[in-house]
Amino acid sequence: MSISHLGWSRAPRARAALSNRAGRFERHDRVAEPDGWDPAEDLPPLRTEVTDERPRSAITRNRSPDIGFDRSINPYRGCEHGCIYCFARPSHAWLGLSPGLDFETQLIARPGIAAVLEAELRKPRYVPATIAIGTNTDPYQPIEAERRIMRGVLEVLHAFRHPVTVTTKGTLVERDADILGEMGQAGLSRVGLSVTTLDADLARRMEPRCPSPARRLRAIERLSRAGCPVRVMVSPIVPGLTDHELEAILTAARDAGAVAASMIPLRLPLEVSELWQAWLAEHYPARQGRVMSKIRDMHGGRDYDPEWGKRMTGEGLWAELLQKRFGRAVRALGLEVDLPDLRSDLFAPPPRPGDQLSLF
């Protein structure tokens, strides 16, 4: 889809998606057409808008057999980081919004989720297990600096001594190094920090509002110094665009203090495929054929194979070569792939004002 679909003659500044096509559940699509009075390039920049949602529940459960956790928390819906490849983009269609530019600009914040979480953790039948945060949209996207919703969630988990893993590209995670470091030293926390490329120009195009790769490496160093174990996530790997950087990223992350590593090839579910291909044609047209050919080779000839066990690994020659390169590199660098489980035996709801305290 061309940029003119939106009424722009070029990509909106600091945004990755080139369209705002309605989600798959909508009956109608909307197309912006210039009326000839004002030049398209004079259209105002797209501003981020945030709507509050009062959550009725905090913990989301899942039963996916190829995911290593059964519960997660999402402080936000949508993500201003705007990574063009984000597999969470299709989730915006459930809100009646576009997985394109709406996903980057129409955000949903969930204030009050920390209080809801505390109530859920105090239920007598609650059994603790690691909660994953950042598995859908980033908890440390720019609006967190003002909203502090993620900070509130971490404060509750810290008070309850509850295990947590955090996945992010946001260096705002350093703000919470006091909590994450203390919990990490107790075996209660771990952070996965995503570094997709070391090329600052490519990162700016592909992840327009994320911190630079160099800045993310510094975040790994600072979290590690605070006592929080950090996994570098080389995800997604784009064959024909970023795959040649695999070993360099792992080395840079190890040198910054990462103790573990993981990688996932590019995934293009639902609306993400069209958005990705439009972005690729706009920014790297000479590589489009090669990149898409390799992606399809890794997914049985399709843009994406959603089958459990394959969707995050791919299959075929290119997938096998990536796995072998990754395995060889992590062994050489001393990076772990499988870290021990976080502790659940320390879980203890803190007393509330007026509670009867134990004598023992």
The pLDDT tens digits of the residues spanning 119-162 come to 999 999 999 999 999 999 999 999 999 999 999 999 999 999 99
User: pTM for the full model?
Assistant: 0.92
CATH of 52-76+110-333 among 3.80.30.30, 3.40.50.1010, 3.40.50.450, 3.40.5.10: 3.80.30.30
Q: What are the structural domain ranges in the chain?
A: 52-76+110-333
Q: What pLDDT digit, counting tens, does each position of 247-300 carry?
A: 999 999 999 999 999 999 999 999 999 999 999 999 999 999 999 999 999 999
Q: What pLDDT digit, counting tens, does each position of 320-347 carry?
A: 999 999 999 999 999 998 999 999 999 9
Rg, C-alpha atoms of the chain: 21
Q: Strands 71-73 and 76-77: what pairing?
A: unpaired
- What's the average model confidence in pLDDT over 185-199? 98
- What's the average model confidence in pLDDT over 91-117? 97
Strands of 82-157, DSSP E = 106-109, 131-133
Output the CA–CA distances (angstroms, integers) from residue 296 to 38, 45, 142, 152, 303, in the order listed. Answer: 42, 35, 34, 42, 5
Q: What pLDDT digit, counting tens, does each position of 39-83 carry?
A: 555 556 789 999 999 999 999 999 888 888 999 999 999 999 999
